[in-house]
Chains A and B, each alone.
Chain A
Amino acid sequence: MNYLVGAFKPPCNIFISFTDGRSRKQVPLKKENGKTVMVALFQSQENIVGEVVIEPIHGKKVEHNGVKIELLGQIELYFDRGNFYDFTSLVRELDVPGELYERKTYPFEFSTVEMPYESYNGVNVRLRYILKVTISRNYVSNIVEYQDFVVRNYTPPPSINNSIKMEVGIEDCLHIEFEYSKSKYHLKDVVIGKIYFLLVRIKLKNMELEIRRQESTGSGPNTYVETETLAKFELMDGAPVRGESIPIRLFLSPYELTPTYRNINNKFSVKYYLNLVLVDEEDRRYFKQQEITMYRNLEAS
């Protein structure tokens, strides 16, 4: 982003910090260059308070048309590269036009910021929050500095959380009944359930439970759907017989899951599925996919 800075040595350094930066929880964030950095974690309605320090390089003065800080919530679609959709944009003017000779500190505050969407780093889409400090200048390009931060929103446990229970099968071949205790799971939850074999006429080899994430971006004819398998969890080894019931216990915590996102700013959705896969001895796969809703639970995080 700041390659300009690399080309022309910027006349000053800009530091953005949060007031409660030391106590605030830090979470890892994967950057474009593949590196993971620890950044501050916020949730919606929080006050985002901090300060910006501008430190001119020794002996240089920085002339500017004003200094501002913006809080941006952006959705970036990779197939539409370069286009950011800012769904949130707040600005605070930090300084009137003038000259900077020495280090100067500007406190800033965004109060009860509405940040309805969570930070998300998907296959085709990214949703991110940044603080952007801009030193506007005449004739030469502006000096810009970014600070990422992560937003996560917690939802209370759903009041209605039905189990998923279903009987499926291939006629005269395989009939099973499966049950997941819930349809909504928090991110550290456990999927408990069982599979009951009503009829088995094929020689099964094993059975797995997959967690699949479906990310759909765009809309209308330009919808891109990307499905990833995040987990393959073997439930059964060998061939069961009629009447056998196989337990399911899948801990979700080891997997990097996010809550389910539905139609975020009309740009994208992220959905989760439990996919039950039965594999026979000829490696044919029989599966049944069920959507589950993921949510972020404060207690469990």
Chain B
Amino acid sequence: MLNGTEDEEKWLAEGIAGIQHNAFYMHRALDSNNLREALKYSAQMLSELRTSKLSPRKYYELYMRAFDELKRLELFFKDDSKHGVSVVDLYELVQHAGNILPRLYLLCTVGSIYIKSKEAPDKEVLKDLVEMCRGVQHPIRGLFLRSYLAQISRDKLPDIGSEYEGDADTVMDAVDFVLQNFTEMNKLWVRMQHQGPGRVREKREKERSELQDLVGKNLHVLSQIEGVDLEMYKETVLPRVLEQVVNCKDDLAQYYLMDCIIQVFPDEYHLQTLETLLGACPQLQPTVDVKTVLSRLMDRLSNYAASSADVLPEFLQVEAFSKLSNAIGKVIEAQVDMPAVGAITLYVSLLTFTLRVHPDRLDHVDQVLGACVKKLSNIPKLEDSRAMKQVVALLSAPLEKYNDIVTALTLSNYPRVMDHLDIGTNKLMAMVIIQSIMKNNSCISTADKVEVLFELIKGLIKDTDGADVDELDEEDFKEEQNSVARLIHMLYNDEPEEMLKIICIVRKHTMVGGPKRLPFTVSSLVFSALRLLRQLQGQEGDIVGEEASMTPNKIFQLLTQIIESLSAVPSAELALRLYLQCAEAANGCDIEHVAYEFFTQAFVLYEEEIADSKAQVTAIHLIIGTLQRMNVFGVENRDTLTHKATGYSARLLKKADQCRAVYACSHLFWVDDQDGIKDGERVLLCLKRALRIANAAQQMANVARGTGGLVSLFVEILNKYIYFFEKGNKQITSSAIQGLIEFINTEMQSDSTNPDSVADAFLASTLRYIQFQKQKGGVVGEKFESIKL
């Protein structure tokens, strides 16, 4: 129909020129009160609107020009002193025009005056106008003509309270009029789709959507009519509008109009007519985006419900939820081709609705999820990423609403929905759940819930079948596992028994996680168990002997098993640390053999698994540190362990490491407690041994590289000397310290040694300390007095 925008511009310009030209003569006729001429030129002017060449947008421009002119004409018509013709005659006169479009524009114009004059019943005129307009069957021209009719009649409808209100039925007349105009406009609008060649379908749809508001305006007018109360809306307006919507069988129109209905009429009307409105949905064309329509409806109702608590009873009264739920079911049934994303979006909306309206009805939430599961189970594999997103939204909504995972855990269908997610999304969702727990600091306190929860997040807990491990992003994975680890700490119950159950369940789930996950989860689990242990200790007095299952021994067994699982990883270092932790806990519980056992395990690991020399250094220091704090051991056990530790220390690879480990071992024989071991002799032995090693290291360094640089070792040993000296170890004498200081000074000044600023500073501050202690006076000062610097 159109050859391009340029031509269109030209035609529009021509049309506008034509209107202006005739309007000029019309104005002249108006000024000279010449009715005949006025009619002639106005008809000619309106003939410009007969064009078929313009797109709706351009046609609208033309229409607006004519519209402005018609307003002037209307003023002239209104004043019969100017033309001397009664309005009735005028009404006939304008109908003499031969062309229908100008004729009807003029008729509408005079009609509006006719109504105002009240010489004929309002409804008769309106009815006549709306009937006569049938003559224009061209979609665009008809739509604009009828929109002109709607425009001029708008303030003249026989509404309640309007001056045109007549007898009781007049509101009905007004409604009838608008409905009829609406129906006809919609027909024209729909018809547009089927005219012209098929290839410009898209363009036509665009043009049509530009015109949609002309049609929708009628609904707006309807909603503005005061007299349309709920009763009338229910009985007349809605059924007739819906009839038109359903029967027009046009997806664009159906979608727009449904949306329009939802937007223009008040919420309470929707609520009271929910059944009717929803009943129309399954009857719409399969291509109509019903889900958006329904979503909007539910959004509106949700907002309405949220607006005031007073309206909630209404929702209950009309059983809004079940109606919506049914409707959605039907729509999904009816629209077989609806993509999964559509169905799920609907469920999301419904869920949002019920969460807002019936926050207390968890069964509703569960029902929605159940329906969703049903739908999803019909789909072999959910691959649409948008659908996934919707499912995530579906699952997140209750979490956000209740801010409490505990509530979600009671929803039986929740995990079933999650089963339908793909692996990635499942993980994502699991993360969302965990984050929700973290954010709200919710504590999951029963074993059952923990079970459900872990069922939910199993995507994070273990490898899912078919998962492509290579694709995993290392960082994401760490993040996920860290979250799981954090989650474990959120599981807590004051009742030790229940807590034990929780731990067992968590263990059950995490043990299957495979070597990559275990390092993350095991430590959390271990510490969780250790906490239980402390908890138990706190209550020990009360329940001792009562619960045979709840002995610390039992827990230690469990711990052993948990840590042993790390051997599969293998992560010996972590296991070692955990064993030491457990040993310390056992120490706290005063169970010697268990503590010993843990130490044994730790040593075994050290011997068998830790080969890396750096790791060994760290491990040995850990062992020494832990062992030092143990007070549960008897002499024999302690001797064995310390002996072992010292032995390992001396066998480290690097001399410096050896030296440091050995002087650290000195602490094993001197526990600075009331009843701690204080074996000064063995301390001295350790330190001397350390000095020897340091010497050897020094010489080795000299020989091998010609450098010193290990002077700081001596300074470190010096510090140990000072420590024990201060603690009152009789074996450490001031002369020994003094000797060591002199030795260090000589070493430092020796030619072979490169200046070592770190060591220098270390020594200097050590000496300052001694100086400081001296100046303190009293017992300490006296003691240090003997050291001469």
Residues on A lying within 8 angstroms of B by beta carbon are 206, 231-241, 244-247, 249, 251, 253-254
Residues on B lying within 8 angstroms of A by beta carbon are 50, 92, 95-96, 98-101, 103, 131-132, 134-139, 141-142, 187, 191, 195
Does B135 lie within 8 Å of A254, measured CB to CB? no
Does B132 lie within 8 Å of A247, measured CB to CB? yes
A254–B98 Cα distance when bound, in Å, is 11
Pick the contact of B135 from A239, A241, A247, A253 — CB < 8 Å? A247
A29–B135 Cα distance when bound, in Å, is 37
Does B132 lie within 8 Å of A240, measured CB to CB? no
- The interface residues of chain A, by DSSP majority, are classed as strand
Given contacts A234-B99, A238-B141, contact A246 B191 (CB under 8 A): no
- Chain A residues with Cβ under 8 A from B138's Cβ? 237-239
Question: How distant is B272 from chain A, measured CB to nearest CB, in Å?
Answer: 33
Question: How distant is A81 from chain B, measured CB to nearest CB, in Å?
Answer: 35
Q: Which 7 A-B pairs have the closest CB atoms?
A: A238-B138, A238-B137, A234-B100, A240-B137, A254-B96, A237-B136, A234-B99
Given contacts A247-B132, A247-B134, contact A238 B139 (CB under 8 A): yes
* Residue in B closest to A197 when the chains form the complex, CB atoms: B137
Does B98 lie within 8 Å of A232, measured CB to CB? yes
Question: How distant is B646 from chain A, measured CB to nearest CB, in Å?
Answer: 104
Does B137 lie within 8 Å of A236, measured CB to CB? yes
- Chain A residues with Cβ under 8 A from B141's Cβ? 237-238
- Chain B residues with Cβ under 8 A from A254's Cβ? 96
10 additional contacts, CB 8 Å, given A249-B95, A254-B96?
A234-B135, A235-B135, A237-B101, A237-B135, A237-B137, A237-B141, A238-B136, A238-B137, A246-B135, A253-B96
Pick the contact of A241 from B92, B98, B191 — CB < 8 Å? B191
Question: How distant is A222 from chain B, measured CB to nearest CB, in Å?
Answer: 36
Question: How distant is B139 from chain A, measured CB to nearest CB, in Å?
Answer: 7
> Would you list 12 pairs from A and B whose C-beta atoms are within 8 A, ordered by A residue?
A206-B100, A235-B135, A236-B100, A237-B100, A237-B138, A237-B142, A238-B138, A238-B142, A239-B137, A244-B137, A253-B96, A254-B96
Does B98 lie within 8 Å of A231, measured CB to CB? yes
Scoring A232, A234, A238, A246 by chain B CB atoms within 10 A of each residue's CB, the highest score goes to A238
A14–B580 Cα distance when bound, in Å, is 152
A235–B99 Cα distance when bound, in Å, is 8
Question: How distant is A266 from chain B, measured CB to nearest CB, in Å?
Answer: 37
- Chain A residues with Cβ under 8 A from B136's Cβ? 236-238
Does A249 lie within 8 Å of B132, measured CB to CB? yes
Does B98 lie within 8 Å of A247, measured CB to CB? no
A136–B712 Cα distance when bound, in Å, is 168
- Chain B residues with Cβ under 8 A from A231's Cβ? 98
* Residue in A closest to B50 when the chains form the complex, CB atoms: A237
- Chain B residues with Cβ under 8 A from A232's Cβ? 98
* Residue in A closest to B137 when the chains form the complex, CB atoms: A238
A113–B17 Cα distance when bound, in Å, is 60
- Chain B residues with Cβ under 8 A from A206's Cβ? 100
Does B131 lie within 8 Å of A247, measured CB to CB? yes
Question: How distant is A261 from chain B, measured CB to nearest CB, in Å?
Answer: 25
Given contacts A238-B139, A244-B134, contact A233 B195 (CB under 8 A): no
A74–B99 Cα distance when bound, in Å, is 40
Question: How distant is B10 from chain A, measured CB to nearest CB, in Å?
Answer: 23
- Chain A residues with Cβ under 8 A from B99's Cβ? 234
Question: How distant is A46 from chain B, measured CB to nearest CB, in Å?
Answer: 31
A246–B139 Cα distance when bound, in Å, is 15
Does A251 lie within 8 Å of B95, measured CB to CB? yes
A244–B141 Cα distance when bound, in Å, is 17
Question: How distant is A242 from chain B, measured CB to nearest CB, in Å?
Answer: 11
A231–B141 Cα distance when bound, in Å, is 24
* Residue in A closest to B195 when the chains form the complex, CB atoms: A239
* Residue in A closest to B190 when the chains form the complex, CB atoms: A241
Question: How distant is B365 from chain A, measured CB to nearest CB, in Å?
Answer: 48
- Chain B residues with Cβ under 8 A from A235's Cβ? 100, 135
- Chain B residues with Cβ under 8 A from A249's Cβ? 95, 132
A235–B132 Cα distance when bound, in Å, is 10
* Residue in A closest to B102 when the chains form the complex, CB atoms: A234
- Chain A residues with Cβ under 8 A from B135's Cβ? 234-237, 246-247
A249–B95 Cα distance when bound, in Å, is 8
A237–B667 Cα distance when bound, in Å, is 109
Question: How distant is A297 from chain B, measured CB to nearest CB, in Å?
Answer: 17
- Chain A residues with Cβ under 8 A from B96's Cβ? 251, 253-254
- Chain A residues with Cβ under 8 A from B131's Cβ? 247
A246–B187 Cα distance when bound, in Å, is 14
Does A251 lie within 8 Å of B92, measured CB to CB? yes
A22–B297 Cα distance when bound, in Å, is 78
Scoring A231, A235, A237, A239 by chain B CB atoms within 10 A of each residue's CB, the highest score goes to A237
* Residue in B closest to A233 when the chains form the complex, CB atoms: B98
Does A234 lie within 8 Å of B191, measured CB to CB? no
A246–B50 Cα distance when bound, in Å, is 18
* Residue in B closest to A232 when the chains form the complex, CB atoms: B98
- Chain A residues with Cβ under 8 A from B142's Cβ? 237-238
- Chain A residues with Cβ under 8 A from B134's Cβ? 244-247
* Residue in B closest to A208 when the chains form the complex, CB atoms: B98
Does A234 lie within 8 Å of B98, measured CB to CB? yes
* Residue in A closest to B184 when the chains form the complex, CB atoms: A244
A91–B576 Cα distance when bound, in Å, is 151
A254–B92 Cα distance when bound, in Å, is 11
A206–B137 Cα distance when bound, in Å, is 9
